[in-house]
Amino acid sequence: MRIFVTGAGGQIGSDLIMALRERGHDVHGSDLAPRPSRLPEDVPWHRLDVTDAVAVAGLLEQLRPQRVYHLAAILSARGEQIPQTTYAVNQTGTYNVLEACRLHGIPQLIFTSTIAVFGPGLPESVPDDVPLRPTTMYGVTKVAGELLGEYYQRRFGLDFRGVRFPGLISASLPGGGTSDYALFMYTDGVRVGAYEAFCRADTRIPLMYMPDGIRALMDLADAPKADLRRCIYNIAAFSPTASEIAASVATAIPGVRITFASDPARQAILDSWPRALDDRNAQQDWGWKPTFDLAAMTADLVPRVRELLARTPDALSGH
């Protein structure tokens, strides 16, 4: 089928596009940024600003995909530096994509939500339905995106589905997330042999290795609608402390030096997020199950980061 991806130049886009193409789909990427060099040149690429309603509707009218993955967003840490722009991209951008789907009869929209929809005062393991009290603009706009999408499903019959992602880890730079300390332990660990994390060593949030996240995005989209009792699902993989991640990294990068210097603003965001997620609804409704735990991710990821840096030494620098 034809699939359209917004924000495809970000942390998730390249891996998602490659996986969808392997499943035989005709995938079109879009972003403000040019096509990432990791993607083959025959991936159709469109320059798109999701805050431009006319441009979003025009492109979807022209392409008429059967499915849209809406990934475009400014993440939590960057979002606190530029909350007004974050509102425009995340909130208005999501509204523009929903409206374009309605106007042009696009049947299915897949939304990437996040653990950042949650806020302080959570139980130890957080189920899907608790009061959503985010403290960041990113979290506020993701809650609104969940609710708007559900409204479009109820009111206009859009097939709206999404996952709440934990912090995602892969050999690609995210750009402005608060969960990035986990990823940087791997990338800077290989690149320079050291990393000073911006959180306390006892910080614990849910994390996931990217291949599991990509599979979730494809499996949820393909699940029979009749099996889904809700639109948005928590999905979980593992929840290590920052020091447990550091210890795991050290098993694959002997001698790596990982230290901790907590940054108050980002620490406050991390402390407001779940320590662990309850994802039983996703397990029951569409068979969600992660394949990578922390040790398996470390064993798979470190050689990939090494290979990438051998080919492109600058690929993971500059955060």
| Interface positions with ligand VAH (CB under 6 A) | 75-76, 114-116, 138, 165-167, 174, 177-179
What is the spatial distance between Cα 142 and Cα 159, in angstroms, rounded to a whole number? Answer: 18
Give whichever of 10 and 65 is closer to ligand VAH, judged by the CB atom. 10
CA separation, residue 61 to residues 52, 95, 105 (Å): 14, 16, 9
**Nearest CB to ligand VAH, comparing residues 80 and 159:** 80
Nearer to ligand VAH, 67 or 164 (CB): 164
Return the number of the residue (45 or 138) whose C-beta is nearest ligand VAH: 138
**Which among 237, 238, 242 has a CA at the least distance from the CA of 183?**
242
Contact 16, 32 (CB under 8 A): no
Least distance (Å) between residue 285 CB and ligand VAH: 22
Minimal distance in Å, beta carbon 263 to ligand VAH? 13
Which ranges of 157-292 would DSSP assign to H, the alpha helix? 180-192, 210-222, 242-252, 264-272, 280-286
Q: Are 90 and 142 in contact (CB under 8 A)?
A: yes
Residue 281 near residue 199, CB atoms below 8 Å: no
Question: Which residue has the closest beta carbon to ligand VAH?
Answer: 177
CB of residue 63 to ligand VAH, shortest distance in Å: 27
**How near is the Cβ of 228 to ligand VAH at its closest, in Å?**
22
Instruction: Give me the least distance between CB of 183 and ligand VAH, in Å please.
Output: 9
60 versus 182: smaller Cβ distance to ligand VAH: 182
Which residue out of 69, 87, 138, 186 is catalytically annotated? 138
Alpha-carbon distance of 118 to 121, in angstroms, equals: 9
In the complex with ligand VAH, which residue's Cβ is closer, 179 or 234? 179
CA 216/CA 234 separation, integer angstroms: 11
Q: How far apart are the two ends of the chain, measured CA to CA in Å?
A: 36
Task: Report the distance separating Cα 281 and Cα 284, nearest Å.
Answer: 5
Q: Is 138 a catalytic residue?
A: yes
Q: Is 245 helix (H, G, I), strand (E, B) or coil?
A: helix
Distance CA 97, CA 99 (A): 5
User: What's the closest the beta carbon of residue 150 comes to ligand VAH, in angstroms?
Assistant: 19
Question: CA 142, CA 139: separation in Å to the nearest integer?
Answer: 5
Catalytic residue positions, numbered: 138
